[in-house]
Amino acid sequence: MSGSEESGSSPGLENSIVPATRRSNIDLEKGGETEVVTSGEFLRFDEGKKDLLGEIVDSEKEAYKLYYDYAHYVGFCVRKGKNAYFLGTKNIKAKEFLCSKAGFKEDEPEATRSKLESRTGCKAMVKFQVDENGKWRVSRLVSEHNHELAKPEERHLLRSAHSVIAAKMSSVFRTLLDVGIKTTKVSAYLFDEGTGIENVKFSKKEGQELINSRRLTEVEPGDSQSLVNLFKERAAQDTMFFWDIQLDKEGKLTNFFWRDGRSRIDYDCFGDVLIFDMTHRLNKYICSPFLGINNHGQNIMFGAAFLMDEMTDSFVWLFSTFLKSMNDRPPITIFTNQDEAMDKAT
């Protein structure tokens, strides 16, 4: 049972699955004290883009966003640094934004500082000067890091990707609530700080607000009609919306997939590389978003699926359905965790 704006055959994906792994540590040469510190091939934001030095924006929010996007493209996270103020006022004269690994935590033993999640005393930063007209100009950029950076296929794991994926995934949870999966099960996943990739976590407040906004009567898991109705409603609102579900012989929901029109447009432009994540669960389902990276180095979502199991047949159905939704155009490369059943399916 499915609905979409198109139909067609579903050839298998080329066997191009590549395991996503962390890059090894790289020793960086220490540069002198200059306005712009570079680090050779390890860090190149200006490849196909522009250097931040001299860039001008109109507000603190835009300044943060500029460095935030730069950091996500390069492969690190950002935190705010110190401010300088115009004499006798509370108006900012200069502000720094730092790599999230800048400095050291005061209560952190030195022996633990080599861990990936620890601060490393990284000096990477950007400094904005604010003129009398309120314009924020990049006056100093230190681009050298003393720690490993996330590779392009790992950027969806950065904290900077959380809001992008969380916004998309919130619709996933609303769908599950609409179809009748118990709110306690949804809540358990939303609030779980120890499972799944970090960029789909919600705070307890956000999760509770989401659940409280859905005043639905819980239905039996075998009742899939609500989900079908929801997908039909979405398809009526978005002519490019695509959905498909699998039912067993008893009419119970097994697997389902959907993507919206924006995802199709993004895939047409940036679908050469596909990131398939199957590391997190919700109730009995494996939640598997299809992710990509646009020309700004930002995460984009190509679709989402919920699977009952990790069997070859489920992956065959999922990949065939995904390809059908994308006009049978396979990606060149897929990044995912290695899985024998998935390998057979592709």
Supply φ then ψ for residue 206, to 5 degrees.
Answer: -65, -45
Longest C-alpha distance within the chain, in Å?
Answer: 76
- Residue 285: what pLDDT? 56
The residue to which tokens 């020309």 are assigned:
295
Contact 68, 37 (CB under 8 A): no
In percent, the amount of the chain with pLDDT more than 90 equals: 27
Tell me the DSSP string of 6-21: -----PPPPS-EEE--
CA distance 252 to 300: 31
Pair of tokens at residue 31: 């540069």
Q: How many other C-beta atoms lie within 10 A of the C-beta of residue 297?
A: 19
The amino acid at residue 31 is G
238 vs 288, higher pLDDT: 238
Q: What is the pLDDT of residue 45?
A: 41
Q: Pick from 95, 88, 75: which is nearest to 152 by CA?
A: 75
Read off the pLDDT of each residue in 237-257 and give the average, rounded to a whole number.
84
Query: Residue 329 has what DSSP assignment?
Result: -
Element spanning 80, H or E: strand 78-85
The mean per-residue pLDDT over the stretch 302-312 comes to 82
Residue-wise pLDDT for 100-110, tens only, equals 888 887 655 55
Task: For residue 229, name the pLDDT band (cuts at 50, 70, 90).
Answer: confident
Alpha helices (H) in 126-251, listed in sequence order: 162-179, 183-191, 204-212, 225-237
Half-sphere exposure of 160 (CA within 13 A, CB side): 24
**Rounded CA gap, 293 and 271, in Å?**
8
Instruction: Tell me how far CA of residue 325 lies from CA of 9, 261, 309, 329, 332, in angstroms.
Output: 10, 10, 22, 9, 17
Say whether 210 sits in a helix, a strand or coil.
helix
Report how far residue 301's alpha carbon sits from residue 171's, in angstroms, rounded to the nearest whole number.
12
273-276/253-259 β-pairing = unpaired
Could you give the CA distance from residue 105 to residue 36 in angstroms, rounded to a whole number?
27
Amino acid at 166: A
Cα–Cα dist 64/324, whole Å: 40
Average pLDDT, integer, range 115-131: 82
**Which of 34-38, 310-314, 327-331 is predicted least confidently?**
34-38
pLDDT at 63 over 80: yes
**140 exposed, middle or buried (CB, 10 Å; 0-12, 13-18, 19+)?**
middle
**Domain layout of the chain by residue ranges:** 2-19+155-345, 36-148
pLDDT of residue 92: 93
DSSP secondary structure letter of residue 277: -
pLDDT tens track for 142-178: 988 988 887 776 665 666 555 555 555 566 666 666 6
Closest to 292 (Cα-Cα) out of 335, 253, 258: 335
Q: What angle do CA 97, 100, 101 make, to 5 degrees?
A: 125
Taking 60 as the threshold, does the pLDDT of residue 317 lie above it? yes
Write down the pLDDT at residue 279: 62
Q: Which residues are within 8 A (CB) of 279 and not within 5 positions of it... i.e. 6 or more apart?
A: 196, 197, 337
Q: What is the pLDDT of residue 174?
A: 65
Q: Is residue 141 scored above 90 in pLDDT?
A: yes
pTM of the model: 0.40
